[in-house]
Structure 1
């Protein structure tokens, strides 16, 4: 596009400065990725400040994982915080979980579990994913809202319509995979039928695995707390899972409009967790997603309405003690309902200017209770963890995208949201405070919570300015300045019991500690400055990118050690043990640098060789206490040697991770040693079929996951310190895998 002569440039620049700023460098063209190669390109749409992973980029990654979050590995600044085998939590530049805006087919879903065992990405298996759009750092206001970090938008397989010249089309794909470590199995089936105006599609998957083994002995305990059941010293307990996902889609297309109806269903018989005291022993999720898109001469309207219901159950899995005195387990139930609506209008004001505006609405209801068990401390009533939890969010936004000059593009926007939360009165298992050494203060804590005003209303403001300069055919620069705000989730505000047994059941960071909510929490407020410097060949045969960032967070939600007896902050810190903490607002900063690049090494009789890699560095500090932020990925590097020969694509990857020594003293975070891994992968493709195979952790290295949390995967997990402190969750040892997919 060319600059317009009808509007003075300085006037247009002033109009851009109405908003504060957002989004650092995002789009990363043909970046280096975790093997095999992931090509990252800008999506052909009206929002260029992002990274787009297409179906062809994801195909090879699907063979090596059953966790959709792991499809993102290889994006600069991204890591995955380990959780269940199919429920990893992406981390961008030190921020993860609720700090990221993660959407599935345009739906803003919420993890409904005191351990966040059912995050958004767990509701789509890798075989169902068609594309992933990534906005590292802060994001444009049209995408963002209620988050202070990056955004991830996952799209499942879209409808297929018959092209011109054909009455109808039909087809699909069947796939199956196996990995030796953990005996992991997966099956996928997709089928579609379409005419010019109508399409129907089904995509289903089943994934199942046993506990995986580390690269060596990492513990001395073998007991599980169940008579006659033990685990080997190299077996990582509570890593088994069984997950089934189903999608059914209908679509109708006219000359200028599209109507889609998506139905989703998930059933999880079990998914065990090595860094949580409990396990998921049942999760049923149902969702309906109605989407309408209409093009007009002046632009377009995009509307979406969705509803999700979740029925979630937890207890102790097979690797954890089940019987405590007269109590057979600790049944925990969570039920939630989420209803959302979005309306977006795009107005093409001129060939250089696009104005977008929209309205978002989300209604969330949560019930979290623990049924009585036995005749001891978990009786005679149900324990109400969050009763009648409510979280309603309404947002209004507008953004302007303009081409100030041929090589200068700017996007600016403003979003205002209101978030209202509330919860009903609660009670414990018994209307008492316990007795003797069994004091649990259930009555004291419940009375204090019930006597408090629990309704909260937050007004949050996001603002953004993003700018991109094309300096020439080989150089691009992106700059972004943004401010974003996020209200606490219901568990952070309304979990009320200081009793250690109840508190350790409320933990979605996997550190083995117990957590108490705080009614006084304020929304987090983050301001981010970032840039991207991109050098590349004209045809992008070689490319190098540097992405520095700096984020300052006021009212950052961190935690302080808590003394349940006095119901106050602990006077002195307890070290080298699991502790009870309460959420508090403090101040934090995160900064770092992400480097990535690729280059060809030439062609020969053995094919085309290439080299690609990335380096990620993130530093997170609590500036109120001088402590380190929890679960920050240390300096890490991925280097890949790739080979392409005919229908063969092969790669050898070297992963290097520095020792994690900058840990959170408040949470007694466990340091981890540095390590290096070798991964080998290959694929061969025919016209209608493809085979992927490889070896993960080729040298069977024993290593600890820097953001995997504390190992509490076996034994007496209900007791705060009934397990040894100081064992980090290890990564998997050597695993040979293969996946076959056939199109029909």
Structure 2
């Protein structure tokens, strides 16, 4: 077993990292539920969030997806070590909205290699917040599958004490030699602040529980972030800039690996506080990604003629404005949002200078959206009602390839695409309403309903040549776009109870979601596309089509004190997804899961110490998509142990050591949401599900000053 050196927890730079996510409410008298997963807000007045302290440990995944996976209803669909897609209640990918400090990231890779989670870099006060159940319309545009906000609130930074502060940390992991370091420094004056942060991550291949090398599980990343703010009177201005560079990193479930991703995003924000209940915010933001991927530098390719390199880029800019004021015994929020994005992708063969495929040329998407939302809080109940109108305009440039001269089927695909009407507009109306009834001091009853929409992505409309482009779904089939797609419309109901007794709380939720015009793949009837795909892959492709789908399920959180210094936290989730047009399951839906954590707080040599034992149980998934040749997976059970030792803890500094053994009994298993291996000549056969890591040892050291 290889010895290694590690990587640091992406969020220990600012606050302890949590391995269990607690459910918290926007104060007891509000109807919108949020779940904080990482870090702690620097000021509890921000967002009126009531917060509990939770146990800390180092992250396991480079993109901290392991921490998100402990949330009710959440799992991670992983195609590589830095390519994690959030799945919430059976929906994942572009259906789940993710913003970073108010920036909606536009990825360059059509297979989500540069997923939003891969763009996060730590800084003081960084938190990740997931809306549980019905997402209010103010949370964002096209939040059909949920919303995750990763941010460090500027108002909280302005409230910090003056002077210098910061942190550094480093970890070690074995097996899979890797290194991960990070740090930040923060300076606050009476009216301004400035901060800087950096991170470095690298790791070689991981090993599974049977000592097999997990193919292409290596990664290397470096990043830096700068942020500054100034306030005067009722005005606040803050600016952020981040650069994150991913070098060679594996994606075994996809046809190519990451050569590099050079990603930058920026934001300029302004806030005017008229009084405690009336304020205005405005932000201008954008991002730019350069992305190269190939199928030959990090894996075996059958022949030189089959070598492919894809150079992709994305650029986006947006404006977001919000005005909040008192209105009719409540608060009225008005908002407007504009966003423009453009994607390009060209495929070449480094061994053949004549070969090219203009995959996507100036694929543009313009989004304009306005909303209004009203919230009222009373002693007996609280209610949030909102509506949002969104218009999305899409267009793309011409397709092209050198192969049109030698392949009549490809020539027809190019001609048909270039002659088609490629621009289209979508008008969508979102509505969300939720209420919390305070039945007693111990019981709240929650009811929510919503209608949410999602317009197609550029690759669902503009993939003119059948390729393995599926937005990260990675089922191994080729896909072709559909210029006639309608937008998805999901109608959801969410019902739950919050019960509290002494130190205990129990929060079950039931949900049902009917999705009209659900976009998924169906066998293509395009003869030219079928000929090309059969020639290249031996199978006919899927074409993106509108169908209908139903997803239903439940999730539950339980927490309480077993003893004065022993606490139990548990979260359970189950979801079931089906297509309505045919009797078939939705692809890659996570099975039922139960995660239970027991934490004991004690002392060692008069120093605070926390010991944690976590049980992770996942059921078998036998409800799989026959159409997409999805295999069933067996259930599994894992045990993890963590010890957190605080050697120095005072107003000026804090020194902590965290030791973790993940998968204590070295269980060999594969999660159902893992990708299927496509890398030849490895310990894992092509077509098998990529296994998860076996026993791993983590040791982290963090110092705050």
Q: TM-score, normalised by structure 2?
A: 0.89
How far is the alpha carbon of 1:322 from its aligned partner? Answer: 4.4
Partner residue in 2 for 1:551: 513
Is 1:396 the equivalent of 2:359? no
Q: Is the 8 A contact 2:19 2:70 kept in 1?
A: no
1:484 equivalent in structure 2: 452
Decide whether the 8 Å contact of 1:123 with 1:245 is kept in 2.
Answer: no
Contact 1:433 1:444 in 2 (8 A): no
Consecutive unaligned residues of structure 1, counting only runs of 5 or more, are 1-33, 218-233, 435-439, 717-722
Between the aligned partners of 2:200 and 2:292, the Cα distance in structure 1 is: 20
> Is the 1:528–1:549 contact (alpha carbons within 8 Å) kept by the matching residues of 2?
yes
The residue aligned with 1:702 is 668
1:476-524: per-residue Cα shift (whole Å, max 9, x none)?
Answer: 11110000000011011100113xxxx1255521222221111111111
1:173/1:46 CA distance change after superposition, 3 Å: farther
Question: How much is the aligned-residue C-alpha RMSD, in angstroms?
Answer: 2.7
User: Which residue in the other structure is 1:734 paired with?
Assistant: 695
Q: Which runs of 5+ in 2 are unaligned?
A: 1-16, 41-52
Separation (CA, whole Å) in 2 of partners of 1:512 and 1:182:
27
| Residue 82 (structure 1) shift | 1.2
Local SS of the residue matching 2:94: helix
Correspondence for 1:413: 386
Partner of 1:68: 64
Task: Provide the residue aligned with 2:402 in structure 1.
Answer: 429
Instruction: Tell me whether 1:690 sits opposite 2:652 in the alignment.
Output: no
Q: 1:322 to 1:671 in 2, by over 3 A?
A: same
Give yes or no for contact 1:561–1:667 (8 Å, CA) kept in 2.
no
- Corresponding position: 1:84 with 2:80: yes
Is the Cα contact below 8 Å between 2:530 and 2:541 reproduced in 1? no
Once residues 660 and 598 of structure 1 are traced to their aligned partners in structure 2, the CA distance between those partners, rounded to angstroms, is 27
- Offset at residue 255 of structure 1 (A): 3.0
| Aligned 8 A contact 1:161 1:198 in 2 | no
Matched, 1:374 2:351: yes
Give yes or no for the alignment of 1:263 onto 2:224.
no
Query: Is residue 591 from structure 1 mapped to residue 552 from structure 2 by the alignment?
Result: yes
**Which residue of structure 2 aligns with residue 7 of structure 1?**
none
Look up the match of 2:14. none
CA distance in 1, matches of 2:191, 2:234: 12
Task: Please give the secondary structure, in 2, of the residue aligned with 1:640.
Answer: strand
CA offsets 1:355-377 (integer angstroms, 9 cap, x no match): 111100000011111134324xx
1:633 aligns with 2:601: no
**What is residue 230 of structure 1 aligned with on the other side?**
none
Distance in 1 separating the partners of 2:71 and 2:121: 19
Report if aligned partners of 1:274, 1:711 keep a CA contact under 8 Å in 2: yes
**Preserved contact between residue 418 and residue 460 of structure 1 (Cα < 8 Å):** yes
SS of residue matched to 2:33 = coil
Deviation at 1:729, TM superposition (A): 1.2
With over 3 angstroms needed to count, the CA separation of the structure-2 counterparts of 1:544 and 1:421, relative to structure 1, is same
Contact 2:253/2:677, CA 8 A, preserved across alignment: yes
Change over 3 Å in CA distance of 1:703–1:127 after alignment to 2: farther
Residue correspondence of structure 1 range 353-368 to structure 2 within 5 A: 353-368=330-345
Aligned residue in 2 for 1:114? 110
Out of 165, 173, 181, the position equivalent to 2:175 is 181
**Residue 293 (structure 1) aligned with residue 271 (structure 2):** yes
Distance 1:160 1:616, change over 3 A: closer
User: Which segment drifts farther, 78-87 or 691-700?
Assistant: 78-87
Structure 1 Cα separation of the partners of residues 125 and 424 of structure 2: 37
> Does the aligned pair in 2 maintain the 1:160–1:193 contact within 8 Å?
no
Q: Distance in 1 between matches of 2:88 and 2:469?
A: 26
Q: CA deviation at 1:53?
A: 3.6
Q: Contact 2:468–2:476 at 8 Å: present in 1 too?
A: yes
2:439 & 2:697 partners in 1: Cα distance?
A: 46
Partner of 1:334: 312
CA contact (8 A) 1:129 1:154 kept: no
Q: How far apart, CA to CA, are the structure 2 residues paired with 1:714 and 1:330? A: 16
Distance in 1 separating the partners of 2:688 and 2:354: 35
Return the TM-score normalized by structure 1.
Answer: 0.84
In structure 2, which of residues 578, 583, 589 is the aligned counterpart of residue 621 of structure 1?
578
* 3-state SS, counterpart of residue 694 of structure 1: strand
Q: Is the 8 A contact 2:26 2:33 kept in 1?
A: no
Q: Are residue 239 (structure 1) and residue 221 (structure 2) matched?
A: no
Matched positions, count:
663
Please point out which of 289, 292, 311 is paired with 1:310. Answer: 289
Q: Is the 8 A contact 1:160 1:194 kept in 2?
A: no
Partner SS for 1:121 = helix
Deviations, residues 661-709 of structure 1 (Å, cap 9, x unaligned)? 1111111112111111111111112311111111111111110120112
Report the CA distance shift for 1:734/1:564 in structure 2 as closer, same or farther (over 3 A).
farther
Q: Which one is further off, 470-479 or 519-528?
A: 470-479
**C-alpha distance in structure 1 between counterparts of 2:657 and 2:619, whole Å:** 34
1:447 match: secondary structure:
helix
Alpha-carbon separation, structure 2, partners of 1:334 and 1:77: 33
Distance 1:78 1:125 in 2: 21
The alpha carbon displacement at 1:715 in A equals 4.8
Structure 1 residues 160 and 198, CA, compared in 2 at 3 Å: closer, same or farther?
Answer: farther
**1:348 matched residue in structure 2:** 326
Deviation at 1:110, TM superposition (A): 2.1
Deviations 1:288-307 (A, max 9, x none): 20011111147110100012
- Alpha-carbon distance in 1 for matches of 2:379, 2:571: 31
Correspondence for 1:667 = 628
